[in-house]
Amino acid sequence: MLARRLQYIGHNTLKNGNIRSVASLVPGEPKEPNVKTEVPGPETKRLSEELNKITQSGSVQLFGDYDKSIGNYFIDVDGNIFLDTFTQISSVPIGYNHPEMLKVFTDQSKLKALVNRPALGVFPGDYWPGKLKSVLLSVSPNLPNVMTMMCGSCSNENAYKALFITYRKHQRGENIDFTEEEKASCMVNKAPGAPHLSLLSFHGAFHGRTMATLATTHSKAIHKLDVPSLDWPIAHFPQYKYPLEENTRDNKAEDAKCLAEVEDLIVQYERKGVPVAGIVVEPIQSEGGDNEASPEFFQGLQNIAKKYGAGLLIDEVQTGAGATGKMWCHEHFGLETPPDIVTFSKKMLIGGFYHSLDERPQQPYRIFNTWLGDPGKIFLLEAFIKVLREQNLLEQVNKTGERLKSGIFQLEKEFPALLNSTRGRGSFLAVNASTHQLRDDILERLKKKGIISGGCGDHSIRLRPSLTFQEHHADIFLDRFRQVLKETK
């Protein structure tokens, strides 16, 4: 069915210089970017001024025309056509206006689930258990339970609570009743009801902007300034030398150093009377600069978590849903057992977390809010997963990723003074510019040439294309990137 709807509009340049048409996975995509106005254009400027009178809108880059945007092409209100390698901060799974997604709410029962948004923890519709099973659990990273939430921050925030609740459950052992003292003291934010416990996170991490997640976020000061926070342990995340193959000894030593620090901190905080109830970590630190760590590092981290009775939470909000060439990035690590908790949002369209039975609170209402997500989003996720399977998009991500990664390596060779440290998995890739200023210039100039791309950390350019980004899109990106670098020389 889907295959028949493919349109032949993309093109690849062959070695002999001829152009070959290739099938685009989203029908109706333009052939290439086309920027007709200055960027931002006059209509984006006008709307930005209007918006800024109402709210702080300094982060707005472009206003989108979401009627016209299609597939991997973002079209702005000035009619400029951009190839989108950043996809709304990594959150568009199969491109704009995918026909299978548009079809979802033509089904009246799904439309009614969207309109009559239930308090899912209290009055779910009859479809809810079935959808959790057939949609969310069908792509679970081997964890039997799932809790839905609205966004990445609130998924982590609530998952942190599950880590604490489980830690205390283990401490109480058989005696599951709360004491009167606990009940009274928690009401005034005091121990023992509100116990002295901590979570260990990593320098460079980003887990969200709510109060507890912000305490574990360490990527940019501007996110944290002026907000009171918690004195919880922060370890160093490995900082590798590139290329990886030429630096295995140093990088292995880096893993060992960071793991030793994790263990030291756990012991220190135990002694301080603030035991570590959990370790929270991204499989690839994304906002913090696309810092990756080896499977051995993650295996070691899991062993330490188990040794000290701390839960292991892997935050797959940005890495999850296929972009690294596997459904979950941590599946690349060969962990002995699944992590205790895996959080998700962004490309999964609905937020939430998978968890082990041990992480399930014994009483209701402990992990809870009014909406607990949105059934409309699970219907969209269902459509996305159907397309993912039918079009074998994980294989596509790996093919596109190879093309992109080898192309960026080539650019790194051609422009060694400008680029270094190409890295990543699948099409979840990054490269460093030699300076912060150069990185920002490259992003701006790429945009003027019709490419939306993103930055992360101080120096990195990150790629977060949709799973329908194909080799011909990669070629367009690489061509424009080369033009920008040539102009920099």
Ligand X SMILES: Cc1ncc(COP(=O)(O)O)c(C=O)c1O
Catalytic residues: 206, 315, 346, 370
- Identify the residue among 62, 75, 151, 163 touching ligand X (CB under 6 A): 151
Binding segment for ligand X (CB under 6 A), chosen from 120-128, 206-214, 242-250, 373-381, is 206-214
User: In the bound complex, what is the minimum distance in angstroms from residue 89's beta carbon to ligand X?
Assistant: 6
- Identify the residue among 33, 71, 152, 455 touching ligand X (CB under 6 A): 152
Residues 114-143 as x/- pattern, contact with ligand X by CB under 6 A: ------------------------------
- Is 465 a residue that touches ligand X (CB under 6 A)? no
- Is 287 a residue that touches ligand X (CB under 6 A)? yes
Radius of gyration of the chain (CA): 23
206 versus 297: smaller Cβ distance to ligand X: 206
- Is 466 a residue that touches ligand X (CB under 6 A)? no
Binding segment for ligand X (CB under 6 A), chosen from 47-55, 245-253, 279-287, 304-312, is 279-287
Which has the closest alpha carbon to 83: 431, 379, 448?
448
How far apart (Å, rounded) are the C-alpha atoms in residues 153 and 469? 27
- Is 98 a residue that touches ligand X (CB under 6 A)? no
- Is 198 a residue that touches ligand X (CB under 6 A)? no
- Identify the residue among 24, 69, 85, 153 touching ligand X (CB under 6 A): 153
Tell me how far CA of residue 440 lies from CA of 54, 288, 432, 435, 457, in angstroms. Answer: 28, 15, 11, 9, 11
- Is 454 a residue that touches ligand X (CB under 6 A)? no
384 versus 415: smaller Cβ distance to ligand X: 384
- Is 324 a residue that touches ligand X (CB under 6 A)? no
How far apart (Å, rounded) are the C-alpha atoms in residues 196 and 176? 19
71 versus 465: smaller Cβ distance to ligand X: 465
User: In the bound complex, what is the minimum distance in angstroms from residue 330's beta carbon to ligand X?
Assistant: 12
- Identify the residue among 132, 304, 317, 446 touching ligand X (CB under 6 A): 317
- Identify the residue among 345, 391, 432, 470 touching ligand X (CB under 6 A): 345
User: In the bound complex, what is the minimum distance in angstroms from residue 316's beta carbon to ligand X?
Assistant: 8
Binding segment for ligand X (CB under 6 A), chosen from 30-38, 168-176, 192-200, 314-322, is 314-322
- Identify the residue among 202, 206, 232, 298 touching ligand X (CB under 6 A): 206
71 versus 208: smaller Cβ distance to ligand X: 208
**Number of residues lying near ligand X (CB under 6 A):** 15
371 versus 409: smaller Cβ distance to ligand X: 371
40 versus 152: smaller Cβ distance to ligand X: 152
User: In the bound complex, what is the minimum distance in angstroms from residue 205's beta carbon to ligand X?
Assistant: 8
Binding segment for ligand X (CB under 6 A), chosen from 61-69, 112-120, 152-160, 300-308, is 152-160
Tell me the residue number closest to ligand X, measured at CB: 152
How far apart (Å, rounded) are the C-alpha atoms in residues 211 and 96? 33
User: In the bound complex, what is the minimum distance in angstroms from residue 428's beta carbon to ligand X?
Assistant: 12
- Is 318 a residue that touches ligand X (CB under 6 A)? yes
- Is 464 a residue that touches ligand X (CB under 6 A)? no
167 versus 353: smaller Cβ distance to ligand X: 353
- Identify the residue among 29, 76, 282, 475 touching ligand X (CB under 6 A): 282
How far apart (Å, rounded) are the C-alpha atoms in residues 329 and 336? 15
- Vertex 82: Cα angle to 79 and 84 (nearest 5): 140
Residues 67-96 that bind ligand X (CB under 6 A): 89
The tokens describing 210, both together, are 């709510």
Which has the closest alpha carbon to 429: 449, 408, 451?
408
- Identify the residue among 100, 315, 340, 374 touching ligand X (CB under 6 A): 315
Binding segment for ligand X (CB under 6 A), chosen from 201-209, 386-394, 396-404, 440-448, is 201-209
| Residues at the site binding ligand X, with contacts judged by CB under 6 A | 89, 151-153, 156, 206-208, 282, 286-287, 315, 317-318, 345
